[in-house]
Structure 1
Amino acid sequence: MFEAIRKHSKFVMILLFLLIIPSFIFVGIDQNYFSESSPTVARVDGHEIKQSDWDNAHRMESDQLRAANPEVDAKLLDSPQARYATLERMVRDRVLVAAAQKMHMVASDAQLVRSLQQIPAIAALKRADGTLDAEAYRALVGAQGMTPEGFEANLRSNLSLSQVMGSAINSSFVTDSQVKLAMDALYQRREVQVAQFKASDFASKVKATPEELQAYYKAHPDKFQQAEQASVEYVVLDSASVQASMVLNEDDLRTYYQENLSRLAGQEERRASHILINATKDASAADRTKAREQAQALLEQVRKDPESFAAVAKQSSQDSGTAQSGGDLGFFTRGDMVKPFSDAAYALKKGDISDVVESDFGFHIIQLTDIKTPPQPSFAELRPRLEKDLKEQQAQRKYAEVAEQFANGVYEQSDNLQGVAEKLKLTVQKAERVSRIPAPGAQGALANPRFLEALFAPESLESKRNTEAVEIGSGMMAAGRVTAYSPAHTLAFEEVADKVQALYVAQKSAELAREEGQAKLKAWKEQPAGAALGAAVVIGRDQPQNLPREVIDAALHASVEGLPAWTGVDLGNLGYAVIKVNSVVERPAQDAQIVAAQKQQLAQWWAGAEGAAYYEMLKARFKVQIKVDRP
């Protein structure tokens, strides 16, 4: 049977084709023929968002962020939090689309035109007569991979969606009385007296027994953890190391000297005088013609008698800044003047007078009065600079080639770094007690999270082989290997006995301070006259008077219905504080400018709150369901 099929394979293929294709015609082609069904991750207004939609959207967002910020860590972009944020944005977009459709919010042509005109890059394409350069506009949006029609449709859609939230946000406002009420509460000031019971003052009263220290050690193993550490060796490739391995050819160096001598020696300077007849570029054609004729007449006059140039400039030049000095402009380089003037001046020989030169300022007649040529340094004088410049240029061109050798070298000889170091003349560096998180003050490769992540990857720790070449900066790569690894573990009591003692004493001291403070608070409430408090000070959120944040918050939260008011606050390991609130101090009058800024800030907060509340209402209206747990 199989032999028969093999002999008549062409006939069998035609038969199968005739049998299968009609089924697609009458039944249709479902995407599940070609891909597995994707689970639903969210639902908005009855429409589903599939896992595949979410994956594609997040991939596009990540690609855009990487293109805008090449140094961003790829792991951050693919974190659960970043992925969930993409899903929330997708849901928000679907909610706004649904709302815009139900509310029939469509951006008009006039709104679209106004928005286009507000985009600087497009506004710059306007011609003098007010029309838009259509070809330049098409090229501008084409650079973003869009057609003008697609770009405008996308903008129109965004305008429609902005109207949905704009109806809530843009209608928000705050009154002066609301600003005063809110800001007076936020920046309220109170006169208080404070007594602090510092834990350090009770340390001498704590007597720890060996049994108590052992019990504390066993009850708090997390406080005595030794983080995972590794001994590593690594090599770094950068442009400096490429330069160090380069040997320059003497002929190349001398050629570079000849080609760049004029640049390295400095620019030639020229001194000139000029006669200017003003005619701005927006002057009428008749006025410019008249100015040119006047300049031409003066040119004929000074050419007949070149010695009279200064006198004519003083009498007839319309450059008020130089006319009194006979038109003298002093020394200048080629880039100091507008291009038409500079080109004409550098085409003259000393003593020559130019033709009439037209610029945006008007019409010039130029007389070159002096040339200052910089001295040309010898090859020997410039050699250090020549070597530096040429090495930098060649290193930039060679880096890509060497980087490929580096990446291949650490992969091919993966059990050590000596081979690639010797081949590329790099130094193998070593470091002890390296952790997964950059240590304070770390520099270079050991300060780069991506490189440390590669070092502490499971395959790197298990095999003790080289990491791949990791890009740790612009024009900089590193590879390393773990030579010894110590996993995280609880240190033995003997190793941390001093720390156990210090922590136990600190905890007990804080407890004694809290007990003393609470006892004093109770006693002073009953007999205020016996209270031993500090001097009265006026405090506020913007005026903390060097008091702990907890004291400020407790003082401002205390009820002022019956003054004076007493309260206490636990300061944790620092101890305890007793606070007496004497009075509420009226907030000083504020500058009008500050009040206006505060009103604007409060209006923004209020608009944001109303916008958030309105969006939550829309989510409920359109029955939003997110089926993925928030990270």
Structure 2
Amino acid sequence: MFDFIHKHKKIMQILLFILIVPSFALVGVDGYNRMLDSGADVAKVAGVSIKQTTWDNAVKNDIDRIRASNPNIDVKLLDTPEFKYGVLERLVREQVTIAAVSDARLETSDQRLANELQNDPAIAALRGPDGKLDNEKYKQLVGSQGLTPAGFEARFRNQLSAQQVFKGLQESSFAPNALVDVTLNAFLQKREIQVANIDASAYASKVNLTDADLETYYKANPSQFQAPEQANIEYVVLDVETLKNSITVSDADLKSYYDQNVGRYSTPEERRASHVLINAAKSAPAADRTAAKAKAQALLESLKKAPNTFAEVAKANSQDPGSAANGGDLNFFGKGAMVKPFEDAAFALKKDELSGIVESDFGYHIIKLTDIKPSKQRSFVEVKAEITAEVKKQQAQKKYAEAADIFTNTTYEQSDSLKPVADKLKLEIKTASNITRNPPASSAIASNVLATPKFLNALFSADAIEKKRNTEAVETPAKQLISGRITQYTAARTLPLAEVKDSVRARLTAQRSFELAKKEGAAQLAAWKATPATATLPAAVVVSRQQGQNIAPQVIEAVLKADSAKLPEFIGVEVAGKGYYVAKINKVLAPEAADPAQAQTLAQGRSQYAQALTAAEDQAYYKVLKARFKTDIKVNQSKLSAAPTASDAAK
């Protein structure tokens, strides 16, 4: 059917036109919009609806955010009912919180908003040396979130108000030490044990297998001897690096680029200065400012007479805590690093020259210029290789954007061969053999472009296998485009017994050895329980969940779960593939508070227990709020996988 559509596009366009136009005539554009209406309610909180579109967009945004931080993730892992329902529950919780804020009339004052904004690290980083906020950078920061400053501040205010709903509960949550210790003592408890291992491998020599045994096991366990579906393929890859290597740039173009960007290849002048600061905020009383200026003037006069004492004077008198101890030294700085009055004065001085009194928002400065690093222009010859790489990169990216459309369209429109796209874009058609849908981590392709999950899914799709068509153009995490086609396909199959006879023998031998070990172990357990004195056991060891003493985890878990009311106690534990263990529990040891390691573990455990208790109380309070605000989630989670989203319907 799809082959017919692919070969008869014009006919299908006419048929679709005939079908669609009368429908528009009957129901109109609005009718079609309603058919794909994504405005249905998926939940309601306090009379406020959460729409299907809101949910769809939230799912998409969450997936995009996760993909941005984890480019290699297979998006199919996120396309699950559980993930979608989790997003819906988050939206419901947000709406419940909004209702609680409104109901309790919780507000955030302008002063608290200002304080919290000032303490935000991202915003604090936008302040200059004078403490002033760079408004342009602030607009860029909030703009990157699709908001204006006013919108960002409104959202921040709402978040602060919402925090108050659960904050009181969280801050008052309390886990009594006695309650915590009951739980932690059981978790951290130690037990002295003796363990005998009836090793399954020791019984392998007692297992005798016939050909009939092997055939019976082989027929009963065909899934253990499956060869996965495999394909030999050819493929083409379009990437920026390949394009970059094919680009040549003339010296004239490189020199032109250098001339146009000459500022990028120069090091601006830097100056080193020391200063004496006498604090005097602009908001200080006039008398205080006058006194501060007079003190600075007196220090300046003494420095003019003995300029070599500048470091000592700064140490004794400067009120800048960051530089006073270093004799006022501010190290090297460029333009834009200091407040403007200070910068203007420093860049007007000659080396070893003293400034006059310089007034800034911080107070009154006396500046001494101690060194100058002049600006340096790197020559064209020095930066030619750097420019060549940059120009090639820019041209390759431009060429890639143009070639990507050709690549995508050609692999689709001429899907019976990769030669057309390879000829158009001068790409090499590569080949690979024995490619599987899920290559193991140890395979040769596990770390290259062929291991891209989306590409492999397309390659092993029914259409690609049956018609041997090109796959769609797939973008890889490394920003490459790849398309491939199967040249030879081998379906998954059960390998013949002759090929896997050794594997069948090894598996069946291990199985029967394990059965013999279990039988022997169970007999020993029964005998030692009946007459403990006859037990032949190794020396006792002390074990806990933190200290397993290299004993199988299944044994440790069973030992720590065993009833300790009547000791000593014998227990038996089967460990698949290894054998049977008989453990004798001699005594129970409580955690030692005096042991530094135990004390640290107890402290961490108390903290984690308190966090878990707070989370449980938080969830319980949230359930109360959901009931109070008549929360109704209209989506049945168990049927979610069958229900299309609005975007699915639109497709």
- TM-score after normalising by structure 2: 0.73
CA distance 1:37–1:335, shift in 2 (3 Å) = closer
1:8 is matched with which residue?
none
The Cα shift of 1:462 comes to: 2.5
* 1:415 alignment counterpart: 416
Moved more, 523-532 or 285-294: 285-294
* Residue equivalent to 2:464: 460
Deviates more, 1:258-267 or 1:224-233: 258-267
Contact 2:270 2:335 in 1 (8 A): no
Q: Which residue of 2 aligns with 1:364?
A: 366
Q: Which is higher, the Rg of structure 1 or of structure 2?
A: 1
CA change 1:275–1:212 in 2 (3 A) is closer
Letter of the structure 1 residue corresponding to residue 366 of structure 2: H
Identify which range, 521-530 or 139-148, moves more after superposition: 139-148
**Contact 2:356 / 2:367 at 8 angstroms: preserved in 1?**
yes
Name the counterpart of 2:24: none
Taking the TM superposition and a 5 Å limit, the aligned residue runs for 1:234-249 are 234-249=235-250
1:106 paired residue number: 103
Mark the CA change 1:415 to 1:189 in structure 2 (over 3 Å): closer, same or farther. Answer: same
Tell me how far apart the structure 2 counterparts of residues 511 and 434 of structure 1 sit (CA, whole Å): 38
Match in the other structure for 1:538: 542
The one-character-per-residue Cα deviations of 1:425-472 (angstroms, maximum 9, x if unpaired) are 544443322222243051132332222222222222233222222221
Q: Distance in 1 between matches of 2:86 and 2:277?
A: 65
The one-letter amino acid paired with 1:529 is A
Give the whole-Å Cα distance in 2 for the aligned partners of 1:198 and 1:322: 72
Aligned to 1:599: 606
Partner of 1:471: 475
Q: State whether structure 2 residue 649 is matched by structure 1 residue 629.
A: no
- How big is the shift at 1:529? 2.1
Pair 1:159–1:418, CA change in 2 (3 A): same
Q: Which whole-Å CA distance do the structure 2 matches of 1:238 and 1:174 have between them? A: 58
Structure 1 residue 533: deviation in Å? 1.5
User: Which of the numbers 289, 307, 327 marks the counterpart of 1:310?
Assistant: 307
Q: Which runs of 5 or more residues in structure 2 are unaligned?
A: 1-29, 642-651
C-alpha spacing 1:257/1:558, structure 2 compared with 1 (3 Å): same
Cα 1:583–1:231 shift into 2, 3 Å:
same
- Structure 1 residues 158 and 620: CA distance shift in structure 2, 3 A: closer
- Structure 1 residue 485 displacement after superposition: 2.1
Equivalent pair of 1:40/1:48 in contact (CA under 8 Å): no
CA distance, structure 2, for counterparts of residue 49 and residue 215 of structure 1: 62
Shift of residue 156, structure 1, vs aligned partner:
9.3
Question: Secondary structure, in 3 states, of the residue corresponding to 1:479?
Answer: strand
Offset of 1:193 from its aligned partner? 0.6
Q: Does the aligned pair in 2 maintain the 1:273–1:366 contact within 8 Å?
A: yes
CA distance in 2, matches of 1:149, 1:296: 45
Return the letter of the residue paired with 1:543: Q
Cα distance change of structure 1 residues 120 and 77 upon mapping to structure 2, 3 Å threshold: farther
In structure 1, what residue type is equivalent to 2:558?
A
Q: Does 236-245 or 327-336 show the bigger shift?
A: 327-336
Structure 1 position 526 matched with structure 2 position 530: yes
Please name the residue that 2:60 is paired with. Answer: 62
Cα 1:110–1:354 shift into 2, 3 Å: same
SS in 2 for 1:439: coil
Letter in 2 for 1:629: S
1:332 is aligned to: 332
Matches within 5 A, 1:285-296: 286-288=287-289, 291=292
Go from structure 1 to structure 2 and tell me whether the alpha carbon gap of 1:221 and 1:49 turns closer, same or farther (over 3 Å shift).
farther
- How far off is 1:555 after superposition? 0.7
Which secondary structure state, in structure 2, belongs to the residue aligned with residue 629 of structure 1?
helix
What residue in structure 2 maps to residue 573 of structure 1? 577
Please identify, of 539-548 and 139-148, the stretch whose mean Cα deviation from structure 2 is larger: 139-148
Task: Give the structure 2 partner of residue 279 of structure 1.
Answer: 279
User: What's the secondary structure of 1:389's corresponding residue?
Assistant: helix
Q: State the AA in 2 paired with 1:488.
A: A
1:561 and 2:562 are equivalent in the alignment: no
CA pair 580-343 structure 1, distance change in 2 beyond 3 A? same
The alpha-carbon deviation at position 537 of structure 1 amounts to 0.5
Give unmatched runs, 5+ long, in structure 1.
1-29
**3-state DSSP class of the match of 1:440?**
coil
Of the structure 1 ranges 612-621 and 450-459, higher mean CA displacement relative to structure 2 is found in 612-621
CA contact (8 A) 1:187 1:587 kept: yes
Once the 2 structures are TM-superposed, how far is the Cα of residue 203 of structure 1 from its aligned partner? 1.2
1:391-422 deviation per Cα after TM superposition (whole angstroms, max 9, x unaligned): 23443454433433333343344333344445
Matched residue, 1:20: none
Tell me the distance in 2 between the aligned counterparts of 1:49 and 1:486: 52
- Separation (CA, whole Å) in 2 of partners of 1:46 and 1:288: 59
Equivalent in the alignment of 2:255? 254
Distance of aligned partners of 1:256 and 1:331 in 2 relative to their CA distance in 1, 3 Å threshold: farther
Q: Go from structure 1 to structure 2 and tell me whether the alpha carbon gap of 1:177 and 1:473 turns closer, same or farther (over 3 Å shift).
A: same
Preserved contact between residue 230 and residue 432 of structure 1 (Cα < 8 Å)? yes
Determine whether 1:405 maps to 2:406.
yes
Shift of 1:477: 2.8
Residues 364-405 of structure 1 show CA distances to partners (whole Å, capped at 9, x for unaligned) of 34447655565x665445433332233234434544334333
Structure 1: how far apart are the matches of 2:610 and 2:324?
58
Partner-residue secondary structure (3-state), 2:527: helix
Q: CA deviation at 1:552?
A: 0.6
Shift in alpha-carbon separation, 1:429–1:115, aligned structure 2, 3 A: farther
In 2, Cα distance between equivalents of 1:403 and 1:505: 56
Asked if the contact 2:233–2:488 (Cα under 8 Å) also holds between the matched residues in 1, the reply is yes
* Deviation, structure 1 residue 287: 4.4
Label 1:344 to 1:69 Cα distance change in 2 as closer, same or farther (>3 A): farther
Query: Contact between 1:41 and 1:628, CA under 8 Å: does it hold in 2?
Result: no
Please give the root-mean-square deviation of Cα atoms over the aligned residues, in Å. 4.8
CA distance in structure 1 between the aligned counterparts of 2:161 and 2:31, rounded to whole angstroms: 28
Per-residue CA deviation, residues 43-82 of structure 1 (Å, 9 max, x unaligned), is 88999999xx456513433234415643354433432332
Within the alignment, does 1:501 sit opposite 2:505 as a pair?
yes
Distance 2:108 2:374 in 1: 60
> What secondary structure, in the 3-state scheme, does the structure 1 residue paired with 2:469 have?
coil
Distance across 1 between alignment mates of 2:48 and 2:604: 44
CA distance in 2, matches of 1:32, 1:411: 30
Residue pair 1:350, 1:371 contacting (<8 A) in 2 also: no
SS in 1 for 2:514: helix
CA deviation profile, 1:74-97 (whole Å, cap 9, x unmatched): 433432332343455567678x58
Amino acid at match of 2:365: F
The code of the aligned residue for 1:106 comes to D
Once the two structures are TM-superposed, the CA of residue 543 in structure 1 deviates from its matched residue by 1.2
Aligned equivalent of 1:184: 185
Instruction: Measure, in 2, the Cα distance between the counterparts of 1:263 and 1:526.
Output: 88
- For residues 104-503 of structure 1, what are the structure 2 equivalents within 5 Å? 106-110=103-107, 116=113, 120=117, 143-144=146-147, 151=155, 158=162, 162=165, 173-258=174-259, 264=265, 266=267, 268=269, 270=271, 274=274, 276-279=276-279, 281=281, 284=284, 286-288=287-289, 291=292, 310-311=307-308, 313=310, 318=317, 332=332, 334=334, 338=338, 340=340, 341-342=342-343, 344-347=345-348, 356-359=357-360, 360=362, 362-367=364-369, 379-421=380-422, 423-441=424-442, 442-473=446-477, 475-503=479-507
Question: 1:273–1:367: 8 Å Cα contact kept in structure 2?
Answer: yes
Letter in 1 for 2:440: A
Q: 2: distance between equivalents of 1:277 and 1:517?
A: 85
Deviations 1:457-502 (A, max 9, x none): 2222233222222221254332222222222221111221111111
Amino acid at match of 2:405: E
Answer whether contact 2:108 2:157 (CA < 8 A) is retained.
Answer: no
Name the % identity.
37
Aligned counterparts of 2:565 and 2:66: Cα–Cα separation in 1: 56
Kept in 1: contact 2:266–2:375 (CA 8 A):
no
Question: Which residue in 2 is equivalent to 1:512?
Answer: 516
- Inter-CA distance 574–118: structure 2 relative to 1 (3 Å threshold): farther
**Separation in structure 2 between the aligned mates of residue 299 and residue 419 of structure 1, nearest angstrom:** 81
Alpha-carbon distance between aligned partners in 1 of 2:375 and 2:180, rounded to the nearest angstrom: 69
User: 2: CA distance between counterparts of 1:513 and 1:612?
Assistant: 49
Which of 586, 589, 592 pairs up with 2:593? 589
Q: Distance in 2 between matches of 1:503 and 1:299?
A: 92
